Structure 1
Amino acid sequence: MKAIINSDSLVLLDSNHRSVKEFLPELKLKITSCKDDSPFEFVVLEAMLMEMFSSLDDRLAELGQAAEDVLHRLLDPQLFSVDRGELHILLQHSKSLSEFHSIVKDIEATLTDVLDSEEDMADMYLTHFADTGEYRDEEDIEDINNILEAYLMQAENMMSEVQTLRDSIDQSESIILINLDSQRNVMMRLSLQLEMGVFSATISGLIGMAFGMNLDSSLEENPYAFWVTTGCMMMLCGLLWKRLLSILFSSLTRSPPPRRLTPPTSSRSRGR
């Protein structure tokens, strides 16, 4: 919303915009209901600031609710995988929060610059200049100072809320990445265990390959040779797989040896 404020008039530059048309009745009501001796320019300025921060509060609440809904769905412990569509939506919300943060930061910087300049605040007393023909004393600017400080505090609180939301999104992204890494490690460990089982079965199958050759031996006549050979193969496969798993788990859980610290030698011992 852009406007030119005079001591007794207001010029809205975007009067055909929908938000400006919706704001005009509230502005007229604010001006007519003002019963104190506040100058016209201060009433209009405060009404425009109030409208601007009200729209910013609504936008922040909308962004915060949307981001929290996405984070709630992504951090659901019952989900085994992460939906890429939800991650894309979360990225869009993060970008929107960054843009919103930039807007509020610019507003905060503008209010801070005006508050730092007592001369600029004294020049904002347009009614006083129109009535007396003199500029306001820089030591008597408490009214405009209180108005600007109040909205500067709102801008700072809003930036704090935006930063809290951004930190929450960053922490949630870290948790999501940790969960994905954990799931990836589980799948890799399962794949490695299956490969060990296939390797063990292949090694134990050499016994069957030896018996399957066209070689004559006395074991062909024994009715229990097949079952004994099969049992030995299964037993060898199980023992070999168990041994490989124990080697794998011991290598994963093995802690590095403690580093030995050499005590410092004093200058007196070195001298001796």
Structure 2
Amino acid sequence: MPSLLVREHAILLNLGSLRAIAMQENVYIFNYNRKGGKAFIDALLPRLNPKTMNGGPSMPFVLEVVEAALHSRIQRLEQRLWDLEPRVQALLEALPNRLTGDILEELRISKQRLVELGSRAGALKQMLLDILEDTHEIRRICIMGRNCTLQKNDEMECSVPLEKQIAEEEEEEIEMLLENYLQRCESCHGQAERLLDSAKEMEDSIAVNLSSRRLEVSRVELLLQVGTFCIAVGALVAGIFGMNLKSYLEERAVCPLGLYLYASVFFLNVWLMFAF
């Protein structure tokens, strides 16, 4: 589960493959050679370059680290979604007419990846919601590195009035920052859920189609079994009358009752065969 924990002099970040400790002037990255660590470094370094600031005011270093971490994480989720979406759409268009083992296996793999992506995006969304609902944690970030304290009612008390004003402005900026990434995360999570629902509906349609085909095969098998039974009964009656054993029927005249009985059995078998 992703987490962002605020301490007195540092912020602990745990965003999957990215684990870091952000302080006032330093950031310590664990497993920096993993994908999450590399993406975080690529997002953070341009923010710290004076040439890319365009002369505008910069945020405190801690906030730069937090924004870079959130940006790199959500950007990776969005990139995975962009890679999966055209593949899933192509599968949904091809599946009604092409039911092959390779396509069905690819649909299963894509569905599994969508479940994983939706789970990660949902966990990150929940983390951002929890932080936005907890104003105490946001104000703890704002007073970090300043001569300010939080009262019991979460009111900031600073020794210098200017620092309190700057902290309050940063609080609004942090809230806007978190809301921005929350919207991106919700968009990614919602799109993944929609694609997953479409894949599940396609699986249900395929299951119904295969069930209908199995019923057709079972009907043909039953028809063949009934036909075989009818032919076997006719062959049995013909075999009885064709045996080289004396039954004393051959010495009598033609028996209309036996003829009618044989004809009735024959037509009954034919009716049964076509009835199924």
Give the TM-score of the pair, scaled to structure 1: 0.69
Deviations 1:174-232 (A, max 9, x none): 1111111111100110011111211221222245324422258489xxxxxxxxx9xx9
Quick one: distance in 1 between partners of 2:180 and 2:67?
Answer: 10
Q: 2:59 — aligned with what?
A: 39
Quick one: distance in 2 between partners of 1:93 and 1:179?
Answer: 21
- 5+ residue gaps, structure 2, are 1-17, 149-157, 253-258
Equivalence map 1:215-234=2 (5 Å): 215=246, 217=250
Q: 2:198 — aligned with what?
A: 168
Deviations 1:98-124 (A, max 9, x none): 232222222111111111122211222
Q: 1:27 — aligned with what?
A: 44
Query: Which of the two has greater strand per residue?
Result: 2
What SS is found at the alignment partner of 2:25? coil
Q: Is the 8 A contact 2:44 2:64 kept in 1?
A: no
* Compared CA separation, residues 34 and 88, structure 1 to 2 (3 A): same
Deviations 1:6-52 (A, max 9, x none): 33333323333355345434422222212422313333322222211
Quick one: distance in 2 between partners of 1:61 and 1:105?
Answer: 17
Give the TM-score of the pair, scaled to structure 2: 0.68
Query: Which of the two has greater helix per residue?
Result: 1
Identity of aligned residues (%): 23
Deviations 1:214-258 (A, max 9, x none): 258489xxxxxxxxx9xx98x975763334433x4xxxxxxxxxx
Which amino acid is the alignment partner of residue 77 of structure 1?
A: N
Selected match of 1:190 from 209, 220, 235? 220
* Compared CA separation, residues 108 and 78, structure 1 to 2 (3 A): closer
- 5+ residue gaps, structure 1, are 220-228, 249-272
Matched, 1:240 2:269: yes
Quick one: distance in 2 between partners of 1:151 and 1:176?
Answer: 37
After TM superposition, what 4+ stretches of structure 1 lie above 6 angstroms from structure 2? 130-135
Pairwise CA distance, 1:89: 4.7
Pairwise CA distance, 1:87: 4.5
Q: How many residues align?
A: 231
Matched, 1:52 2:73: yes
Matched, 1:145 2:164: no
Equivalence map 1:73-222=2 (5 Å): 75-79=95-99, 83=101, 87-125=104-142, 129=146, 136=164, 140=169, 141-214=171-244, 215=246, 217=250
* Compared CA separation, residues 122 and 167, structure 1 to 2 (3 A): same
Q: Is the 8 A contact 1:200 1:238 kept in 2?
A: no
Quick one: distance in 1 between partners of 2:68 and 2:127?
Answer: 17
* Compared CA separation, residues 46 and 34, structure 1 to 2 (3 A): farther
Q: 1:255 — aligned with what?
A: none
Quick one: distance in 1 between partners of 2:142 and 2:68?
Answer: 16
What SS is found at the alignment partner of 1:3? strand
Deviations 1:135-183 (A, max 9, x none): 7578642111110001111111111112112211221121111111111
* Compared CA separation, residues 237 and 201, structure 1 to 2 (3 A): farther
Which amino acid is the alignment partner of residue 179 of structure 1?
A: N
Pairwise CA distance, 1:2: 2.2
What SS is found at the alignment partner of 1:129? coil
Moved more, 27-36 or 64-73: 64-73
Root-mean-square deviation (Å): 3.5
Which amino acid is the alignment partner of residue 81 of structure 2?
A: L
Quick one: distance in 1 between partners of 2:218 and 2:45?
Answer: 68
